[in-house]
Structures are given as structure tokens and as C-alpha cells.
Structure 1
């Protein structure tokens, strides 16, 4: 069998092809070319495949290849993958590279925060970015106190640090503390907020009632005075703030000034309108959104279905619920809960029961509570009796005190005195307490 590479005089074309192939392999074998391929890969999976191929072909791994691979793998949300890469980083001697370790910390903070905490404690050099990453990580895990402790320990803070801590308070419903920290940043530190800071603060204004509205309006004034462009993120946050505070006219005015809008912007308007009783306005906005070619998302349908619940518009609710299928969406527990509430308030308990039986995943306690409350309001113990024992098995003493009381009342209504006494004894045995004024029915769906 003749060799592939022969003398040019005998097989010139084959020789040239072989040389070209050899040159191509040599060029692509350059670590920088491989790193570029990882960076520009079409998907995170493709990036990982290229990185794996580098190992198989014994191509030297440089810091860029590691960085780009870590950045891509964070989007995969694959917890076992990062420890594997961490081991390779240690083996290759990159543990002193602050950029690689910061990227690894960021990945851990999103996939396995316990590993992020261990890595942070072991890091020989910490940057402001690593501190900010941990503040955000503790915020996601609900440990606001630890986030604040880290914030106070930071040797140097930047505007991103303040934004991260303010967001930690706002995202964990500590709105007052978030706004106090924002004011401290302005007055004591003389720092000028950026877009991310203002978006974080505005996110809490809509939940603080009249005080939040005044504060949010002052932030809007700051944006106007400084002639900031109302991009999608900042504009949508303003729209959401005004809509949640019930000032739909102001929300629509901001919406009209935005150069670019998206489904989140439209949804903020629709949900705000429905929440404050502007049902016809919510329906009009929903129709306009579709006409301009913006596809509603799951939250949009939650908003429009809630609007139907508030107005008792049963047939319209059926239409919107069916429309979800036409958009290729699978209803979630919030959408099913809206339908149960809608049918229950209209006295159509059979339809409400059928919705619960079809639910995937199964109904949660908010949905069951809504159904049983409708049975009580409609004075229909027979419908409630179908599900009571099933609900009793699911009750959690520390959270469902209102449902215990509701079930006891239903048994009394049905003249099931022994069963009512059984539930009351169960409440005493399990130390069940219902907070004054508390309810098992949440606003805006289950």
C-alpha cells in the first residue's frame, strides 16, 4: 500500500492536500485558537465539548480556556461539573489566578452555595467582585444578616457592592432597610447611583404603599433631571412601581416614553391594572400586546386571569385559560389556582373540582383552601366533603392554621359535630395557632 505522503513529482495534488491538512491541524492546535473556539461556541454544551477535546488531544490548557469554559458551564446549572473543573484548575496550577477563582466562585454561588462559601474562605486573594458575589449568594439563600455582615467587613466597596446589598434587602422583603441603605449611600458616601441601584430600590417601592410611591416618584425625578434614557430595564421597573402603587395613568405615561418595550413591560401594566380593579383596561392592554406581536408569557396570563377573578368574568377566564394552550404553554399552579378561585366565587364548584383533579403538579394548600372557602361561602358541604379528608392529611401545623379552622367550620355547617371536635382536638394536640387577621388565600394567586 503506497504511503500517503509521496514525492511531489509523482502525486503533486495529493501532496499539496496533505500539507494543507497538516498545516490546518497545527494551526488549530494552538491553545489560543482552542480558547477562541470555546469562547465563540454556539452553546455551553459545545464549549464543554471543545474543552474536553483539548484534554483528549493533550493540547496545553491556558487560563483563557479555563475562564471561557467556566463562564459557559455556569449556565448549565450542573452541580457535579464545577467540582470536576475545580480539580483540574488545582492540578493545572491556576488556583492563584484571581480571575479564574472569581469565575469559579460565581459558578458555585449559582449551583452549590455551600461550595462557594468554602472556596471564599480559602481564597488567598479576594477582590471586590468576589465579595459582591458572596453578598448576592447569601441574599439568594435568604441569609440577609450574613450578607450585611460581609458588606460591613469589605475593605473596599464600589457602587456594585451597595447595589448588591440594597438588592439583598429588597429581594428578602426588608424594604425599609433597603431604602435606608440607599439614603446612606447618597448622603454619607456621596455615591451617585447607577441603573442597577435604582432598579433595585424601585423594586421595593411598589410594596411600601404611599411611602414607597413618594420615594419612587422622587427617584423618577432624579432620572428625569439627569436625562437618563428610559431603556427597557429602567423603564419597566418604573412602570411596575407605578402600576403596583395603583397609579396606572403614570405607569402608562412612562410606558409611552420608552423607546423599546418587551413582554415584561406589558405584563407589569396588565398585572397592575388587574390588581387595582382596572379590569377592562387590563383586557384592552392584553389585546393590544398581542396585536403588536408581543407574545404573552406565563406571568402575563397570571395577571389577566387574576383580573378575571376580581371581576367575576368566568367566560373570559375560560377563554384566556384555553389561549395558553394555543401559545404552547403548560398551565402552572398559579393559573390553575386562578381558575379554581374564579369558578368557586361564581358558585361553579363542580368546574372548580374538575380543575383541581386535572392539575399537574397536584394542588397546593392555597388551592385547596380556596376551594374549601368557596364551598363554605356557597353553603355546599357535599362538595367540601369530597376532599376534606385528603386535605387533612396534607395539613402542616406551622403553616395551615387557617385551613384547620375552615375545615372545622365546614364540619359544623354539615352538622358533623364529632368530626368538628376531632379537628379542634387535633389543633390543640399539634399546637396549631392562626395569627390574627391571617388568611390562607394569597393575593395574586396561590
Structure 2
């Protein structure tokens, strides 16, 4: 079967390189009684394949061969697994191992061929497709590997869907992968249609792996999101699913991000147990949609129940402080983040503090916060600072950093910064500088961006 492949013909010519390469390596094998049979070898190769040095699995496999221990299916599968995270070197070893499989006659074994396909797909997709086309036997996992490779790695949803439709038998993973891929690419109608097809016309029904990605995408669907989310909630209720932490948190997160705080709280109160992710979803949703006092209240209730916040929880709390202009509270929570909970502030946390100080006209504190950051401020944070300077007409503060910020800008993504700098110069009557920046925009082919904002919201 595989001998028809150009890749197979090429690697058969160098099959001995597999042995010579592995023999050349300085060998520190896992301690094995080498006289043992298949199970000991398979276990050792499995352990090595899961280690931080997966090439050890190939060295063990080659040692087994040199001791004339005939390989079994499990040894082959684990050796192939070691090639999953491919580098140029391990890709070469994979091709040598492929040639060895041809020599042993394992090429038509569906599990071995599928494992080989999984190893090729991430880094040698053309070889994977050739292998798939020549396989005389394919199981559901084989099809799923190719659907995942096309949809996630190649970004080719059209071909992925063709393969999905051609599958003789689909499992939960097939549906989950295809639906989640549509959600990831914001193809909401396709995702909804496929989900409804599964709920109404298939023997298989959606499971938690299918529902989770769809619920997570509802907040990005615009006006269709709540409608879609409610239909999934209805499906969960109709089928009497237990409201586990995972499913409950997905529903809470979906409703909170869609701005339906009452619905989110209702689901939350029905849950028998919750975790930090559930609480954080409520807090961030409330903050994002302007329910700032509710966000702060939920944070205090969370602490009362001895649920320890994480860095995302603090992003939500600091966002609430920004929205409500609560400077003292913002300082307090930023301090709690570090001193009480031992968390290291991220660029999102610093960005929130810069937004907060800038919004309230405390531009010197905003500037000092940026300078105290343990990492380089990005153009979003500097853009937020310049926006605050413009809002409060503090040109002398903006002038300190404008040229520096312009050097950081990527014209294709940050065109709004040029417009902001032009506005600042214009407000101060510096028309020659306005012309200079506009000429710079023309030279970089930057279009003026209207209505953009540098103030971050939530964890964005």
C-alpha cells in the first residue's frame, strides 16, 4: 500500500539510516532487563516516548531490534508517538521508521498507519495526505486525524467538511472538531446548522466535548449568541444533564459574556459546586458590561467562601474599577494581587492601572506605573496613555513619549496611533509636526482609523 508513495520510495532507500543514526547516539537507556519480552520493551518505549527526551524511545526501539527481539504493535505505536512533536531531526527519524514499518509489513495495520498519519500531519502535511489516500483501511480515528489537520493546522475548513461528509461513521470527536473549527473561524451559521443536525438527525447526540466549544463561541456571535446559547441550554435541560462544574461554568461564562447577568447568576445558583473559573466568569462578565458594583460584591462573596482568585479574576476586578473610576479600590486590589495572593501582575493588570489613572486625570501616576513595569510596555498601553493625555489636554506629558510610540507602531495593526499623535499635535497648534506625522503615514501606507480605542476591557 505505502510503497506507492513517493515518500515511501524515498525513505526505503535510506532505511538503514534509522539504525545507524540511533546507534551513533550516545546511549543512556532506561534500566531494562534486556532479555525480557514484548511487554517490558513496550512499557519502556512508552515511558521514553512520554518523557522530555522522546528520541530515547527510538533508541530503545532500535536496541530492541539489534537484540533480535521482534517488535510488536505496541512497541511500534509508542515509537511513533515519540515523533509526534516533530523537529527537522525527528522528522528524518520518522521517515526512517516509516521505511522500517514497510519492511516489517506493518504498513497495512490500521492502528499503526493511523499513528504514523498523526505523526506526519503537524509538520509534513503533504506526506500525511499521501499516506491517507493510499490507506486501504481507515477507522474513525484516521478520518478524525485528517479533519483536524485540515481544519486546525491548514485552516482549510472546506476540505475538512468534505472529509467529514464522506466519513462512513462519525464519533463524538468528529462532530466536536468540525463544530469547534467553525466556531474558531466565526462561522456561526455553519456551527449552528451542524449542531442542530446532530441534535435532530443523528444517532449520536452532543456531549460535553461538543457543547463546551460552542458555548464559548456564543459571546462572539453578536446578537445571535444569546439565541444560540439559550438553545444549547434548553438541550442540556431537556436531556437532564447534570449541571457539573464544567457545564455550569460554560453556561455562566456564556451568559455573562453576552451581558445576561441575571441568567448567569441563575445558573450559578443552581450549581451544586463551583470553582474559581465560575466566579471569574461572573466577575469578568459583570465588569465588561458595566455592572461594576456587582463585580466587586461577587469578588467579596468569593473570598468569603474561601475561593482563591487567580490573575484572570483580578483582571476582571481591575476592569470594574476602571469602568467605575474607582482609583482607591483599584490601588487596593492591585496591592492584594501581589501581597496577599502572591500573584505576579501581568501586562493586562498594569494596563488596567494605566487606564484607571489616565481616565481619572492622574497622568503622572499612569506614567510612573508604565515606567515601573518589569517588562516593556506595548503600543496598547502607550496608546491608552496618549488617549488620556488628549482627553485631559496634557500635551507636555504626551510629548515625552510620542516619538518613542511611533517607532513601536506596526502600520498594518496600529494605524490609530498615528491619528492620535496627529490630534495631539493639532490641539497644541504644532502644525509642522502634524504634517510630519501625516507624511510618515503616507510613506508607510497607513490609513487613518476613526473610532478606535486603546482602553482595554476585561482580559482583552
Contact 2:215-2:250 within 8 A present in 1 as well: yes
1:385 aligns with 2:399: yes
**Which residue, 314, 335, 340 being the options, matches 2:354?**
340
1:29 aligns with 2:36: yes
Contact 1:89-1:95 within 8 A present in 2 as well: no
1:410 aligns with 2:424: yes
> 1:207, 1:180 → 2: CA distance?
17
Contact 1:132-1:161 within 8 A present in 2 as well: yes
Contact 1:38-1:47 within 8 A present in 2 as well: no
Match of 2:271 in 1: 258
Contact 1:375-1:383 within 8 A present in 2 as well: yes
* Distance apart, 1:213 and its partner CA: 1.4
Match of 1:5 in 2: none
| 1:174-195 Cα deviation digits (max 9, x unpaired) | 2233213323444555652222
Match of 2:91 in 1: 83
> 2:289, 2:396 → 1: CA distance?
34
Contact 2:253-2:282 within 8 A present in 1 as well: yes
* Farther off after superposition, 416-425 or 294-303: 294-303
1:428 aligns with 2:438: no
> 2:344, 2:91 → 1: CA distance?
35
| 1:269-327 Cα deviation digits (max 9, x unpaired) | 22112112222332233334344444333322222221221122223223333333344
* Distance apart, 1:80 and its partner CA: 5.1
**Distance 1:400-1:328 versus aligned 2 partners, 3 A rule:** same
Q: How does 1:296-315 map to 2 (within 5 A)?
A: 296-315=309-328
> 1:52, 1:413 → 2: CA distance?
69
Q: Which runs of 5+ in 1 are unaligned?
A: 1-23
Match of 1:249 in 2: 262
Contact 1:139-1:172 within 8 A present in 2 as well: no
| 1:25-70 Cα deviation digits (max 9, x unpaired) | 7587333024335557896338875774565575644332343465
Contact 1:38-1:48 within 8 A present in 2 as well: no
1:214 aligns with 2:227: yes
**Distance 1:144-1:52 versus aligned 2 partners, 3 A rule:** same
> 1:26, 1:206 → 2: CA distance?
56
Match of 1:160 in 2: 173
| 1:212-244 Cα deviation digits (max 9, x unpaired) | 213212221221121111223222111111111
> 1:255, 1:51 → 2: CA distance?
50
Q: Which runs of 5+ in 2 are unaligned?
A: 1-30
**Which residue, 371, 389, 396 being the options, matches 1:375?**
389
* Farther off after superposition, 50-59 or 119-128: 50-59
Match of 2:20 in 1: none
**Which residue, 63, 66, 70 being the options, matches 2:73?**
63
**Distance 1:363-1:148 versus aligned 2 partners, 3 A rule:** farther
**Which residue, 325, 333, 336 being the options, matches 2:338?**
325
**Distance 1:344-1:130 versus aligned 2 partners, 3 A rule:** farther
| 1:242-262 Cα deviation digits (max 9, x unpaired) | 111222232223223334433
* Farther off after superposition, 219-228 or 175-184: 175-184
Contact 1:44-1:73 within 8 A present in 2 as well: no
1:192 aligns with 2:202: no
Contact 2:180-2:191 within 8 A present in 1 as well: yes
> 1:415, 1:442 → 2: CA distance?
29
> 1:282, 1:91 → 2: CA distance?
60
Match of 1:4 in 2: none
> 1:47, 1:342 → 2: CA distance?
48
Contact 1:305-1:339 within 8 A present in 2 as well: yes
Q: How does 1:174-189 map to 2 (within 5 A)?
A: 174-187=187-200, 189=202
**Distance 1:147-1:211 versus aligned 2 partners, 3 A rule:** same
**Distance 1:119-1:108 versus aligned 2 partners, 3 A rule:** closer
Contact 2:61-2:75 within 8 A present in 1 as well: no
**Distance 1:277-1:389 versus aligned 2 partners, 3 A rule:** same
**Distance 1:42-1:129 versus aligned 2 partners, 3 A rule:** closer
TM-score (norm 1): 0.81
Match of 1:11 in 2: none
Contact 1:243-1:268 within 8 A present in 2 as well: yes
1:120 aligns with 2:141: no
> 1:373, 1:307 → 2: CA distance?
19
